[in-house]
Structure 1
Amino acid sequence: MKTKQRKKILCTILLYTILSTTVIAQQHQTTYPKVTGYVGVIHPIVSFSTDGTHTNFKDSYVVGLPIGINIWKSDKIGFSSEIVPFIKATSTNSKVNNVLFHPGILVALGDGFTFAGRLAFETSGRYGITPVFNKVIKKNKACSYFVAIPLPARFGNDQSSTYGIGFQFGISF
């Protein structure tokens, strides 16, 4: 082969390599804002107040069913809005006893951990904040499974302030 032909072939291979690498890199980039949704189940475990300690499963069982949407501004920070109907079951009946509106900010902490700083507005007349620590435990192509520890603090409605701990698990997509 002549030197000119070798240079053309080499330039063509080099150009093809650069362009294909750029295309592959662009295919793996996430574009923002990124919208994700999730559903889950939350079990309040215990709450503390000046009136005493209340544990779930003792006299009644309370379960929440959170439904939410996350809007990630970047890979580090986002906004979340969640609605959680709570069902209370006793030995004689069961009913939706509260609905929680739960907007907040998301901060990615790395290694699948996320912090959610949420405001809390309940139909029971209570309000407050809920710091939530979340961990993705299994990530698939179409969805992720997560666990979370919410730490609710509630005030108002002529009741004692309460502080609690819960356990949540769910799926995001």
Structure 2
Amino acid sequence: MSLRNYLLAAFICLNTLAHAQTPAPVTYPRVTGYVGLLHPIITFSKQNTVNFKDSYVVGFPLGINLWKTPKVGFSLEIVPQILAEKGTSRMSNLLIHPGVVVALGKGYTFAGRAAFETSGRYGVTPVLNKVVKKNKHSNYYIAVPLPLRVGNSRPLSFTIGFQFGLSF
């Protein structure tokens, strides 16, 4: 057998071994993160508010998840919010959003979050999240947050929002 044939046989063996390896199992605890865009759609209160009508509010959620097991973890999200109205814009609020995340299967996740806003409001935010595209090192997701807020001498409010982003 010639040197060329030996090299070819060695290459085929090494290539077969490299492809036969299984990926390393995921260990826990596991840390993941995400960034996104949040659009409140409508807020129900004494005076209902529709985003995009007289003003525009957008949030920029940044979060980190510490998964204790494949099913349950702790999450901390920070959401700066920008308000644009009457030709000007400003940062209107900063939301601190700790909570618990639960993997529901088939790409769905539930987050139950406490909410503390620099505007003086507080409350809870249940969130249903769905991975819509999986990549090797990241995922695209959509989410529906449902904030319920009280405090700061304002009436109870309930909002329906839409969020999308990238998790990694």
Q: TM-score range by the shorter chain?
A: 0.7 to 0.9
Indicate the residue corresponding to 1:45 in structure 2: 41
Counterparts of 1:81-120 in structure 2, within 5 Å, are 81-120=76-115
Deviation at 1:53, TM superposition (A): 1.2
Partner residue of 1:33 out of 6, 29, 33: 29
Cα separation, 1, equivalents of 2:47 and 2:83: 20
Q: Which amino acid in 2 is paired with 1:142?
A: H
Q: Where in structure 1 do 4 or more consecutive aligned residues deviate above 3 Å?
A: none
**CA distance in structure 2 between the partners assigned to 1:138 and 1:158 by the alignment:** 42
Structure 1 position 59, deviation (Å) = 0.7
* Aligned counterpart, 2:144: 149
Query: Shift in Å at residue 65 of structure 1?
Result: 0.3
* Runs of at least 5 residues in structure 1 that lack an aligned partner in the other structure: 1-19
2-side partners of 1:142 and 1:64: how far apart?
24
Match of 2:49 among 47, 54, 78: 54
Task: Give a deviation string over 1:110-148, Cα, whole Å, max 9, x none.
Answer: 000000000000000000000000000011111000000
The aligned residue for residue 77 of structure 1 is: 72
State whether structure 2 residue 62 is matched by structure 1 residue 67.
yes
Measure, in 2, the Cα distance between the counterparts of 1:48 and 1:111: 31
**1:137 & 1:72 partners in 2: Cα distance?**
20
> Sequence identity of aligned pairs in percent?
60
TM-score normalised per structure 1: 0.84
RMSD: 1.4
Q: 5+ unaligned residues in a row in structure 2: which ranges?
A: 1-16
Q: Aligned pair count?
A: 150
How far, CA to CA, are the matches of 1:92 and 1:133 in structure 2? 34
- Deviation, structure 1 residue 29: 1.5
Q: Distance in 2 between matches of 1:157 and 1:56?
A: 21
TM-score, normalised with respect to structure 2: 0.86
Kindly provide the CA deviation profile for residues 55-114 of structure 1, in whole angstroms up to 9, marking residues without a partner as x.
001110000000010010011000100000000001321000000000000000000000
Asked which structure has the greater CA Rg, the reply is 1
Counterpart CA distance in 2 for 1:123 and 1:24 is 51
SS in 1 for 2:153: coil
Could you report, residue by residue, the CA deviation over 1:12-60 in whole angstroms, capped at 9, with x for unpaired residues?
xxxxxxxx9xx956x44210011011100000000101x1211001110
Structure number with the higher strand fraction is 2
